[in-house]
Structure 1
Amino acid sequence: MKQKQEFAVIGLGRFGGSICEELGMEGMSVLAIDNDEERVNEFKNIASHAVIADSTDESALKEIGIKNIDHVIVAIGENIQASILTTVILTDLGIKRITVKAQNDYHEKILNKIGIDEVVHPEREMGKRIAHHVISNNIMDYIELSDDHSIVEVKVGRKMSGKTLDDLDIRAHYGCNVVAIKQGKEINVSPSAEEILKLEDILIVIGSDKDISRFEKNLVID
């Protein structure tokens, strides 16, 4: 039986706190770390363990057993210097997997030079999701896969309703691929070209950002 993965979240602000809560709800073992006693107390009943510690102090991290953690998420807020120093220490300690929240592109460049591949921009990513949703209520979700490619969930509106995927030929016209269709609680993966789309069906579409933008403007926005 596979051993349960151990997580640590450093920085219990809005982003780090939400990760702690989600991991806890999934039954994961989570070590919550912050230098603010009040924040730590908030997570004593949410995380497996919650400790007050200065993550820029290598001896403090060693003392709380950070070397035994499989995946550390550095979710430190405004203090870029603390984020970078913490990340350097974790790298030196040989942590298997490190994910870091970046404040800006400059921060990300430094993290990449340190050797961190898993860098997230939660505010930027959420901004893109909201922007796409406010353009049209038919755009349900938008997830950035890379700098140039994304995956989007779109509700079938009047422009697509009653037509098959073959009729729309989304790949030929827009360069995007429909990878699945949600119909109520059912998910049809790799749907047939003869599948007739109905109002309220949800298409899961993958492609380059430029192609997705053309697809949204022509078929999604009513």
Structure 2
Amino acid sequence: MKRFAVIGLGKFGFFVAKTLYEDGNEIIAIDVDRNRVQAIKAFCSEAIVMDATENEPLKSLGLEIMDGVIVSTGINISISILISLHLHEIGVKKILAKALDEDHAKILSKVGATEIIHPEKDMAVRVARGLSMANILDFIPLEEDYNLVQVGPPSAFIGKSLKDLNLRAKYKVYVIAVKELVSENFILVPPANFVIKESDILMMLGKSKDIERIEELK
């Protein structure tokens, strides 16, 4: 279990906190608005009404031991900049801050944010990539040009085992899980003798260019 704090509980912050909590993580949710804090209480470990621009109250929370702090405050950019600066001074190692534009992003990076979130831009890229790779049902960006994707099996794969296909050697991709839609089973690290069915969804890990080679087989 990891521990995160989310500062700013608008729509973006609310759903980040809720999703992280539902995934089994410990979540501290913080906002200056009591109504927003009340709304998140069922979806976090601790909900706190606090003005996070004030350094001393923020320091009292022990956020430096968290696995990450997400700053998702609203349209007043000075607030997110000040909070990010305070978190950096406290010693928080991973600060993920939501930026409204590129200039805002540059300032956030300079005051200590370790990762910048562009919600609209990131979603636009994800949708565009999903559309341009028609057989890919879901797209999850990873580091170093590696992607984790869910792919419907090409017709050439159906009825064959993973051993027969030898995807690791031929395409440099790894099948790390399979969703069986008919039986609703989820098989993590399927055995070599697993035979692929038309209704299966393959979760593959590999470089973009290698996954695209699989897509071209459709």
Aligned residues: 213
In structure 2, how many angstroms separate the alpha carbons of the residues matched to 1:19 and 1:54?
19
Q: Percent identity?
A: 40
1:8-87 aligned at under 5 Å gives the runs 8-25=5-22, 28-62=25-59, 65-67=60-62, 70-71=65-66, 72-87=69-84
3-state DSSP class of the match of 2:157? Answer: coil
Aligned partner of 1:219 in structure 2 is 217
Residue 208 (1) aligns with residue 203 (2): no
Please say if residues 84 and 112 of structure 2, whose CA atoms lie closer than 8 Å, have aligned partners that are also in contact.
no
In structure 2, how many angstroms separate the alpha carbons of the residues matched to 1:47 and 1:23?
9
Q: TM-score, normalised by structure 1?
A: 0.73
Q: Structure 1 residues 143, 124: CA separation in 2 closer, same or farther (over 3 Å shift)?
A: farther
Please say if residues 125 and 144 of structure 1, whose CA atoms lie closer than 8 Å, have aligned partners that are also in contact.
no
Give, in angstroms, the shift of residue 172 of structure 1.
5.5
In structure 2, how many angstroms separate the alpha carbons of the residues matched to 1:8 and 1:201?
37
In structure 2, how many angstroms separate the alpha carbons of the residues matched to 1:20 and 1:147?
27
Q: Which moved more, 1:143-152 or 1:121-130?
A: 121-130
Q: Structure 1 residues 105, 203: CA separation in 2 closer, same or farther (over 3 Å shift)?
A: farther
Gaps of 5+ in 2: none
In structure 1, how many angstroms separate the alpha carbons of the residues matched to 2:100 and 2:147?
21
Q: Structure 1 residues 124, 173: CA separation in 2 closer, same or farther (over 3 Å shift)?
A: farther
Give, in angstroms, the shift of residue 85 of structure 1.
1.9
Q: Structure 1 residues 30, 173: CA separation in 2 closer, same or farther (over 3 Å shift)?
A: closer
Q: TM-score, normalised by structure 2?
A: 0.74
Root mean square deviation, CA, Å: 3.4
Give, in angstroms, the shift of residue 156 of structure 1.
1.9
Output one character per residue of 1:47-84: Cα deviation in whole Å (capped at 9) or x when no partner.
3443333322213424xx32256322212244443222
The amino acid of 2:62's aligned partner reads K
The amino acid of 2:65's aligned partner reads D
Task: Select 1:127's aligned residue among 120, 124, 128.
Answer: 124
In structure 1, how many angstroms separate the alpha carbons of the residues matched to 2:155 and 2:52?
53
Q: Which moved more, 1:33-42 or 1:198-207?
A: 33-42
Gaps of 5+ in 1: none
Give, in angstroms, the shift of residue 114 of structure 1.
4.3
Q: Which moved more, 1:148-157 or 1:96-105?
A: 96-105
In structure 1, how many angstroms separate the alpha carbons of the residues matched to 2:213 and 2:2?
41
Task: Select 1:146's aligned residue among 143, 164, 188.
Answer: 143
1:83-98 aligned at under 5 Å gives the runs 83-98=80-95
